[in-house]
Amino acid sequence: MTGTATNPQRRLGGLPVAALGLGCMPLSGVYGEADDAASEDLIRYAIDRGATHLDSADMYGWGHNESLVGRAIKGRRDKVVLATKFGQTKPQQQGGANGVSGRPDYVIEACEASLQRLGVDVIDLYYQHRVDPGVPIEDTVGAMARLIEQGKVRHLGLSEASPQTIRRAHAVHPIAAVQTEYSLLYRVEAEETRATTRALGIGFVGYSPLGRGFLTGTIKELAQVDGRRAAHPRFQGDNFTHNRALIARFEALADKKGCTPAQLALAWVLAQGDDVVAIPGTRSKQRLDENLGALAVTLTPDDVDCIAESIPSGAAAGTRYPAGAMKAVYV
């Protein structure tokens, strides 16, 4: 099952998926504590509501997230498109940036570990989470392709890869999807990436389509920012003030459209093309329902343009990640 009448099917290369999926990262303590039982229940609820594209990674809670997802989909494996990622490694020192590995032997090792944690025989979409600049992408993707030959993976993906890297990877083995942060707030690199993915017939997966919560309209004061969000430059000092003013203009459009800011933000992302899907994350059934409500928001071409003009491309203040993590994106 890849979609419902209210959550239509789109394609990532040759892989059919629901247009609006579920990013599972928040279920592993990234934005505050999450209760495992409630999280498993949320995933099952999402599946029942048609959000059948589940996105995990081995570094979300360093294995915790995959184990959680595995428990939640037990007995429902045939109802979901299961995506996970490898390539980020634990930082060498407390508080340091994550490491990265694209070594062929590590690819095989990481996949075996993910399969065990997820409790499945095959992963539908397997991403390289971050490109390893020290290993030719051809070597990494070559190892990923062997996983397909072995029946352990169905489709390959890349995350935060540059257009040049995408082309080189796709020449080794077809890439089904490229995942990049994509929202009204942060879209410069994503739109450059999409020019490449469209040309190659690769699907595009937008993560953090709500700007890490900023575009929901619920974060109005600096005091509301805590947890991992506080480390992101977009939420710091003058950047927060600048970005909050941009979002206030956008919120007025949502009010005029008769939907929530989150719904308008998601509808805008999905309006970019049938090759685009979004994977907003949440810990709340209420928020999940709100997000799925975006599928009922109809936008005209003029609406799409007007929304884009409310937060012009490149207008957001602050980089997408803290300085250390920025070195690992768009490689």
Alpha carbons 101 and 99: distance in angstroms, whole number:
7
> Residue 204: which of 10, 6, 3 has the closest Cα?
10
Which two three-digit tokens encode residue 82?
């299961």
d(CA 144, CA 131): 13
Quick count: other Cβ atoms within 10 Å of Cβ 38?
13
Distance CA 92, CA 145 (A): 29
Alpha-carbon distances of 273 from 19, 140, 201, rounded to whole Å: 11, 29, 12
Enumerate residues 6+ apart whose C-beta is below 8 A from 100: 87, 88, 89, 130, 131, 132, 133, 328
Main-chain phi, psi angles of 124, to 5 degrees: -70, -40
- How do strand 9-12 and strand 15-18 relate by DSSP bridges? antiparallel
Which of 60, 126, 182, 321 is catalytic? The answer is 60
Give yes or no for a contact between 324 and 194, defined as CB atoms under 8 angstroms apart.
Answer: no
Decide if 60 is catalytic: yes
Which residues carry out catalysis?
Answer: 60
